[in-house]
Structure 1
Amino acid sequence: MSIATHPRAFATVTGEAATFVTLDGRTEPVHATGQEDIRHAIVRRATHEARRAGAPVELVTSGDRGEHHLLVGTDGALGAITPTHPPVPVAADPEQLAEPARRMEVREQAPQPEPVDAPTGPAAESPTRPTFLAPIPDTASHLSGWRGALARLGLSVGPSAAERRRSEWVSAVSTHWAGCRTLAVANGKGGVGKTMTTAMLAAVFARQGGGNVLAWDNNDTRGTLGWRTEQGLYDTTLRDLLPAAAELLTPTAGVSDMTRFVHHQGSDRYDVLRSNPELLATDQRIATAEFDLLMQVAARYYRLVIFDSGNDESAERWLRMVDSSYQLVIPTLAAPESAESAALLLDALRDRDERSAALAENAIVIVTQSEPSGGAAARRVADGFQGHVRAVGVIPFDPALKSGPLRFDRLRRRTQDAWLRAAASAAQEL
């Protein structure tokens, strides 16, 4: 076994619930999905933390099965590790983080007793009082077709396999995390569906999770997210938000103060932070410090931010978007040029640094069928990315995506389910 010199994350397990403490000291709950064991969910969360750090993480778990130390790699590989005592990160509650390390120190300093036989008999038994509360049923499953008709008649019938899968997708995208999460939609080529993907993912997360989702047009050159989404009460853009950022971060600022700078989408429930497509790129450059200030504002008011990136991969705001994102989504059309641009972006990120490489390995590629007869071409492109990224999704042709306002309700049911599945795949690593 190796001697641990890695950054630490902590997890405390209580029954089927867990609390996770990130490398920077944030405390958040961990939830298992479906029939997943809570410990698998903890390892999945630690893997994501390792990917964000670009290096293996020491995971210290404590709870009903004792205390354990695991080395979690960026690829999810687990290894045994000999605990040491590096500085513990500072959190809002330092005692909470210090406790696992304190217990470990006490155990190492105290003499280790010889094992003894556990007591037996009635005195050793610890009867558990039965609960009078029934578990809350899974209300995410909605029966349809003949199953729904029978259920409305009072006849008990279980969901189909497709309905169970859809229920799992809904559960994934309706999750609320402790702290803001960020997702970048990127492809260096224009006209490949970045704006469409941003709007549809934002709609899925907001409709299923109850809002608090921001679609951010992070584009220096002719960002069109505002053209295909509803305008709010004010004709404002990111340039208007920037000088007001400091005031919005004061303790007295309220949620309604943000309304002046974003454009709410009525039925789809998310907000849009527009760029100004009428200005030249030279007039709306965003430096790294300005991006970070705007990100502080976004994290103050939203639980999820989805970036609609521009095409200039050398821009400061583009690079900072990548460095600030938990998940990378790469849209492409079922065309060779679009797919090649997506592949080149993945190659460039793998060569940039460890964290960007982890984003590339964990990326999701979404292939949109732009023509009614393009199903075979879309599948060929999707097959080409299999094994090179974490997941690949195909969006079937839908005339509501071709032009005009982007509204989730306008889509065919098959298209809605495809976007729901894509969003659920992205949510797995958030």
Structure 2
Amino acid sequence: MGLNPTEVLAFPRIRAIVRDNGTAEVVVAGNSRTVAPAESLQQLRENALALVVGEAKTLKRAVRVAIDDPEGQGELIVSPDGSKESVNYTPKPAHRGAEAPTTTAAPVAAAVIETLPVEPAQPQTDTANSTATTGTTMTPTPSAASAAAPAAEEAPTRRSLKETSFLVSAPVLEPATQGWRGTLTRLGLRMDPSQEELSEREDIRTVSQHWPGPRTIAVVNRKGGANKTPTVVMLSAILARYSGAATVAWDNNESQGTLGWRTEKGSHDRSVLDLIDASTELLSPSTNAAEIAKFVDHQTADKFDVLRSDENEEGDHEVTAEEVDIAHQVLTRYYRLVVMDSGNTARAANWRRMIEHTNQLVVPVTAIEDRAEAARLTLQTLESRGGHDAELARNAVVIVSESTDAKRSMSGDALKRARDEAQRIADGFAPFVRAVVRIPYDPALVNGPIRYEALQPATQRAWLAAAAAVAAGF
């Protein structure tokens, strides 16, 4: 790798902790991520380092990670390509009572001292009498205890208090709350959760975490009707609800978008252009954080805000790249998470500048051929540009929604064809992006304002999985 360790930033602080009880965690800036279990200590280490590599890929640079496992402590430099370079490593001292090597007498003697009781010393006169009785001169022979004394000084006989803890490190598995297992638990018979419930808990944990600094998500597809706006609303709602992070959904259409039509409207008619005009005041250190409410519409049930696109009737203003910069600067001062809706023109100045600010790309697509093809071309365009754009494309999350046409017909054959087509499209994208998530059809997403609580349980669960896949890229 050839990196100078002094050139690698120590922020965010990353620790990889592997325990001899078979558990491990990676802590990034105070946020703990549980490592997948493994059959061996070495595999557990590799699983932990895989999470660190993912963080390096997200940051697009090498990171420092402090290592603490049963055999020693140290520090590594980990690069996005997975290469690792050791900065330092200190083996942990052997525990008291551990089996000592037999190649030298000293460690063996030390072990004897630790395990055998000390005999009371015999009076000096007894030794003298014994010598006189035999009539021979005896050379005093060092006892086992005295011979072991120098070795006892070399071998550690105490552990540092820093190396132990009375806290339980393994997470406590909460009992089941869902299905028949949850019913039995409520009746007093404690049951472990099912794999489905454990998976849901892990998705909730992923979307509930906080991360250092603001994050920007861009939802893109150059074809209209690809489910961009519902995707923006659902991701914003889930991330805001579970993480509690201040979240804004921003309609970055170059002229007039539809995000404002599908969400709850506030008591004003201001748009992104008004926010840009007031940017000097909003960026002033003396401005109160509550002033942003003049320009956004709060979603009372789903806990996020909406910044609308310009809705003047003439529609004679197209947002410029410089205006995107200004609006993004304002929003990342007031919000930790910015979810951007977009227009259909990948060549537009505001679209390209949005991509420059993006940390995580999301590509929604309905299970219809032309929408899927438009999504593929969108990713191909970004891939061809190289650099940051190509990395976004490779790390993208594709969200495939089932077609509404088959659901309306309610035909069994049509439903099966719709599911098969959604799966075919999902399988087609899978080799080229980080994650693909399928969303079932739900009438609550078709028309009118979108509310998370209005969705069917299966749809809510699918969107939670999609939000977790997005948050995993932060």
TM-score by length of 1: 0.80
1:62-112 CA distance string (max 9 Å, x none): 465223233332xxx3244899xxxxxxxxxxxxxxxxxxxxxxxxxxxxx
2:79 aligns to what SS in structure 1?
Answer: strand
**How many residue pairs end up in the alignment?**
379
1:243-287 CA distance string (max 9 Å, x none): 11221122222221111111111111111000134445541x222
**Do the aligned partners of 2:14 and 2:64 also contact (CA within 8 Å) in 1?**
no
Identity value in percent = 37
Structure 2 CA distance for partners of 1:137 and 1:237, relative to 1, 3 Å: farther
Distance in 2, matches of 1:350 and 1:420, equals 28
Which residue of structure 2 lines up, in the alignment, with residue 416 of structure 1?
460
Which residue of structure 1 lines up, in the alignment, with residue 361 of structure 2?
328
1:304 to 313, 321, 337: 337
Structure 2 CA distance for partners of 1:80 and 1:131, relative to 1, 3 Å: closer
Which residue of structure 1 lines up, in the alignment, with residue 77 of structure 2?
69
- Whether 1:151 aligns to 2:185 is yes
Which residue of structure 2 lines up, in the alignment, with residue 8 of structure 1?
8
Distance in 1, matches of 2:172 and 2:314, equals 54
- Whether 1:286 aligns to 2:327 is no
**Do the aligned partners of 2:236 and 2:248 also contact (CA within 8 Å) in 1?**
yes
Which residue of structure 1 lines up, in the alignment, with residue 232 of structure 2?
198
**Do the aligned partners of 1:214 and 1:306 also contact (CA within 8 Å) in 2?**
yes
1:372-421 CA distance string (max 9 Å, x none): 22212111111111201111111111111111111111111111111110
Which residue of structure 2 lines up, in the alignment, with residue 165 of structure 1?
199
| Structure of higher RCO (CA pairs closer than 8 Å, 6+ residues apart) | 1
**Do the aligned partners of 2:75 and 2:86 also contact (CA within 8 Å) in 1?**
no
Distance in 1, matches of 2:320 and 2:421, equals 39
- Whether 1:429 aligns to 2:434 is no
**Do the aligned partners of 1:18 and 1:29 also contact (CA within 8 Å) in 2?**
no
State which drifts further: 196-205 or 365-374: 365-374
Which residue of structure 2 lines up, in the alignment, with residue 41 of structure 1?
51
1:151-179 CA distance string (max 9 Å, x none): 22232111110000000110111111111
**Do the aligned partners of 1:3 and 1:82 also contact (CA within 8 Å) in 2?**
no
2:190 aligns to what SS in structure 1?
Answer: coil
Distance in 1, matches of 2:462 and 2:469, equals 11
Structure 2 CA distance for partners of 1:13 and 1:2, relative to 1, 3 Å: closer
- Whether 1:318 aligns to 2:351 is yes
| Letter aligned with residue 432 of structure 2 | H
1:306 aligns to what SS in structure 2?
Answer: strand
Which residue of structure 1 lines up, in the alignment, with residue 40 of structure 2?
none
- Whether 1:385 aligns to 2:429 is yes
Comparing both structures, which one devotes a greater share of its residues to helix?
A: 2
List alignment gaps of at least 5 residues for structure 2: 18-24, 38-46, 89-151, 408-414
1:382 aligns to what SS in structure 2?
Answer: helix
Distance in 2, matches of 1:396 and 1:29, equals 36
**Do the aligned partners of 1:4 and 1:58 also contact (CA within 8 Å) in 2?**
no
2:391 to 347, 358, 365: 358
Distance in 1, matches of 2:446 and 2:328, equals 31
**Do the aligned partners of 1:61 and 1:68 also contact (CA within 8 Å) in 2?**
yes
Distance in 2, matches of 1:66 and 1:129, equals 17
Which residue of structure 2 lines up, in the alignment, with residue 31 of structure 1?
32
Distance in 2, matches of 1:14 and 1:388, equals 30
| Letter aligned with residue 196 of structure 2 | A
Distance in 2, matches of 1:13 and 1:380, equals 39
| Letter aligned with residue 59 of structure 1 | V
Query: Which structure has the bigger radius of gyration?
Result: 2
Structure 2 CA distance for partners of 1:13 and 1:63, relative to 1, 3 Å: farther
| Letter aligned with residue 267 of structure 2 | L
List alignment gaps of at least 5 residues for structure 1: 21-27, 51-56, 84-116
State which drifts further: 355-364 or 117-126: 117-126
**Do the aligned partners of 1:72 and 1:79 also contact (CA within 8 Å) in 2?**
no
Distance in 2, matches of 1:34 and 1:155, equals 29
CA RMSD between the two structures: 2.9
**Do the aligned partners of 2:365 and 2:375 also contact (CA within 8 Å) in 1?**
yes
**Do the aligned partners of 1:187 and 1:341 also contact (CA within 8 Å) in 2?**
yes
TM-score by length of 2: 0.73
Which residue of structure 1 lines up, in the alignment, with residue 62 of structure 2?
58
State which drifts further: 308-317 or 28-37: 28-37
Distance in 2, matches of 1:31 and 1:161, equals 21
1:67 aligns to what SS in structure 2?
Answer: strand
1:200 aligns to what SS in structure 2?
Answer: helix
| Letter aligned with residue 204 of structure 1 | I
Distance in 2, matches of 1:272 and 1:179, equals 20
Structure 2 CA distance for partners of 1:125 and 1:225, relative to 1, 3 Å: closer
Structure 2 CA distance for partners of 1:256 and 1:142, relative to 1, 3 Å: farther
Structure 2 CA distance for partners of 1:3 and 1:171, relative to 1, 3 Å: closer
**Do the aligned partners of 2:321 and 2:349 also contact (CA within 8 Å) in 1?**
yes
